[in-house]
Structure 1
């Protein structure tokens, strides 16, 4: 078996979290290399594109969060084998990454500039993505986003939806999801209560 080392910030969430979950669910051994945000300037010097996450597979270092998550999903049996279902999975993953990028673009803004940018996200952009995601969920049976089973699309959705509803993003209402796409709230809770996922976070809380 390949030796895997996943490098990302030392917090639960973000672009590496779906891969962490997938590897945990699949029982795939890996080194969970976490670092403090203050150490990022030094860590990034050793990364291919000055960013994380990275995944080292034996002696090869790979970048790009979605690619890493997809690889982890394949190892863990959480990525569809059917080409169309894989397309549905990738579509959701890419849309959710759009959300990450659009929110990320507001980091570094302050005061009125931050409020204006976040208000625009909360009133226009995020509702559009959230309603779309709710529609995808409903059109595929209401339980999962692809393949009628848990996939990495659900793992990424869980992480992004939790972030949006955390109350930690200034000027993004914590009840935004409940307001504009309420069915995603129950979906998020149900995915979080998947035994392997709940077990992972219980273990993390006790670490």
Structure 2
């Protein structure tokens, strides 16, 4: 069953699918503890639950929390959904796998993070949430624990790799995919070109999956 999206909640798209595919390649033990940051509809969290994981999902939006809970009920899958800012709801806990499809779209200052736009707007360099994840997630990973993160090449995957490696994680890009611009990037193409992030003839965005592992 494909999770449905309430109005104002980020609907599963190409980045969601790429993250789910990478999740399915992870060798999860039964009842592995999994955290989904910025769960939205719960699509990624539910994919983990289908693999037998014990999943906690977090989102700052009450509407997204409700949406994920409804989708879990419809799918008859156990899912703990919590409302809060990033890792605050799971302070003091540790996980075998952390998943995140965070906001990563570079955004002009005039485009604020309100309503559904919080799902994609991520500051002038696209790293408003990414940098927090790189800073805070490593401490939540158990020995052998893994972070799987999807982001755009427009938001500096090289910096993500550098920050996670500096935190002591074995880190690499494990997936690439080019997708046609959606309406948000099409509307910002001139601004992105002016910042040197796009070539004039670019019509596709490169997505990457970054895998970072805390060695046993």
Which range, TM-score by smaller chain?
A: 0.3 to 0.5
Q: TM-score, normalization: structure 1?
A: 0.35
More helix by share: 1
More strand by share: 2
